[in-house]
Amino acid sequence: MDIPDEDLPSVSEAAHAVIREAKAAGVYVFGGGINEDVAPLMIAADGTITNETYPQTKEFDGGFCVLELPSREAAVQWAAKIAKSCRCSQELREFQYDPES
């Protein structure tokens, strides 16, 4: 997301409008931004804690949005709305259903 500072208020409003639309449609589950002021921790299986992250996620910043949708096609449509409002590409992932959760 590479947006001039003067455009941030309009991008923020557009993004929030899509979230309000998702809430009104009853598909919004939760979402949020990554707090860049708090460093990530890596907790190993043995309980060891280190101040690091997975190498492939060092560049990850921003946030996420979880929607409950009826199809992949619907997910693509919502991701497109979010991408347009945020003026940046969105990565689409699907949660694998776990009957224990």
* 18-39 residue pLDDT tens: 999 999 999 999 999 888 888 8
In a domain, residue 95? The reply is no
Q: What is the tally of structural domains in the chain? A: 1
In a domain, residue 59? The reply is yes
Report pTM: 0.81
C-alpha distances out from residue 39 to 33, 45, 51, Å? 14, 20, 7
3-state secondary structure of 4: coil
In a domain, residue 12? The reply is yes
Structural domain containing residue 12: 7-35+54-86
Tens of pLDDT along 34-78?
Answer: 888 888 899 999 999 999 888 877 666 678 899 999 999 999 999
Give residue 29's pLDDT: 97
- 15's CB contacts (< 8 A; 6+ apart) are 82, 85, 86
In a domain, residue 60? The reply is yes
In a domain, residue 44? The reply is no
d(CA 79, CA 51): 32
